[in-house]
Chains A and B, each alone.
Chain A
Amino acid sequence: MVMKILKNFFKRVFSNLFKNRKNIKLGFYGPPNAGKTSLANRICKDFTGEEIGTVSKIPHETRKIQFKEKVEIKSKGKAMVFKMIDTPGIATKIDYEDFMKYRMKKKDAKNRAKEATQGVIEAIKWLDDMDMVVVVLDASENPYNQVNITIIGNLVARKIPVLIVANKVDLKDADIKKIEAAFPEYDVVGISAKYGTNLEEFYESIFKLSKKIK
């Protein structure tokens, strides 16, 4: 009996000690076209040599959850292993006619819209499975979008640590301060996934965030 209690105690202590070092599930969430896949690609390419998915100017390019297992991120002498989970952009509306503006045929546009709606549902379902989440926002867009607020609210309700990334800082209209003002309770890191700007600070913030995993 005593042996069993001791065994369980040590098992719990050691699993807690090492849980943060094994394939932490890192989700990328945000509205469509904010650059979730671009950022995930940049990280995966840097540390595994392979990308996670394709990117496009047409919204809802990512319509299924995409994974990359065992991505070891190394920065400034630290290293951590993550399971990267890139999710479809969350939206409240999807109109196939919007895709046709990109010279897409009606049939293809309808198909894309159908897949995109299913992608949003899937992304919401996956919220429960994340250890920590990077919410990727376009720094040139209005941050007070209800989708952003809903995503962050749901992560907080699930006690999942959140880091906000203000992507596309290379754009003329980018305004990180606006994002910081909208979400004053969270760390905001300004980056450009396209040009790889400020990724060291992003990695530092990721390592810091992993300590908040419960």
Chain B
Amino acid sequence: MSKRGRNLGKIKGFTIQFLPYSEVRDLNSDDRIKKILGIVLGNSILILQGRLKTEEEARLIGDTMAMIDHVKTFRGIELAVISSNDKAGFFGKMKSGLANALSGGDLGAVTIIGPATIVKEMKRNPKKIELLLKR
């Protein structure tokens, strides 16, 4: 076992929820964000297939801020998106754009959202996302 693995110590209880895109595809932006925040407020780390629209990401941040003011123990979220489209060229983006239009979302992407009380940091680079948890 790696040194990092041996030193994990006690981590407070949490669950990891995987949500297929089909679960949010038919929701409007309000309900989509409400669903996501509901999961995160329940002390779960959410792994969502696909990604939100950029406007929805901004709204998620705004709603998160409003929630910090209203829920005593809530400190916000850690959020990261990794997409197969990030390094694609013009034609690659056009191709995936067409595929996304047909499927209703960028299914090649993965969005990870966790409560800041559990996730200390999400380190992202174009190839991976690392989750650093709080002890």
Shortest distance from the beta carbon of A26 to any chain B beta carbon, whole Å: 20
Instruction: Pick from A92, A114, A118: contact of B78, CB below 8 A.
Output: A92
Say whether, besides A144-B124, A146-B79, A154-B55, A120 and B69 are in contact (CB < 8 Å): no
CA distance A98 to B75 in the complex (A): 11
Instruction: Pick from B54, B123, B124: contact of A157, CB below 8 A.
Output: B54
B99 within 8 A of A: no
Residue among A95, A121, A146 facing the most chain B CB atoms (10 A cut-off): A146
Say whether, besides A113-B68, A114-B69, A146-B124, A92 and B76 are in contact (CB < 8 Å): yes
- The answer to whether A121 and B62 touch across the interface, beta carbons within 8 angstroms, is yes
- The answer to whether B76 and A94 touch across the interface, beta carbons within 8 angstroms, is yes
CA distance A121 to B65 in the complex (A): 7
Q: Which residue of chain B has the shortest Cβ distance to A125 in the bound complex?
A: B62
Contacts of B24 in A (CB 8 A): none
Interface SS, A side: helix
- A121-159 vs B, Cβ < 8 Å mask (1 yes, 0 no): 100110100000000000000101111011101101100
Contacts of B42 in A (CB 8 A): none
Contacts of A151 in B (CB 8 A): 58
Contacts of B79 in A (CB 8 A): 92, 146
- The answer to whether B77 and A150 touch across the interface, beta carbons within 8 angstroms, is no
Interface size on A, residues (CB 8 A): 28
Interface size on B, residues (CB 8 A): 25
CA distance A152 to B66 in the complex (A): 22
Instruction: Pick from A124, A153, A157, A182: contact of B62, CB below 8 A.
Output: A124
Shortest distance from the beta carbon of B129 to any chain A beta carbon, whole Å: 9
Within 8 A of B (CB), among A81-95: 90-95
Q: List 19 A-B contacts (CB under 8 A).
A: A90-B61, A91-B76, A92-B76, A92-B79, A92-B116, A93-B68, A93-B77, A124-B61, A125-B62, A127-B58, A146-B122, A147-B61, A149-B81, A150-B58, A150-B61, A154-B55, A154-B57, A156-B54, A182-B126
Interface positions of B (Cβ within 8 A of A): 54-55, 57-59, 61-62, 64-66, 68-69, 75-81, 116, 122-126
With A120-B61, A146-B79 given, can you name 20 additional A-B contacts, CB distance below 8 Å? A92-B76, A92-B77, A92-B79, A93-B116, A95-B75, A113-B68, A114-B69, A120-B62, A121-B65, A124-B62, A125-B62, A127-B58, A142-B123, A142-B124, A142-B125, A144-B124, A149-B81, A150-B58, A151-B58, A153-B54
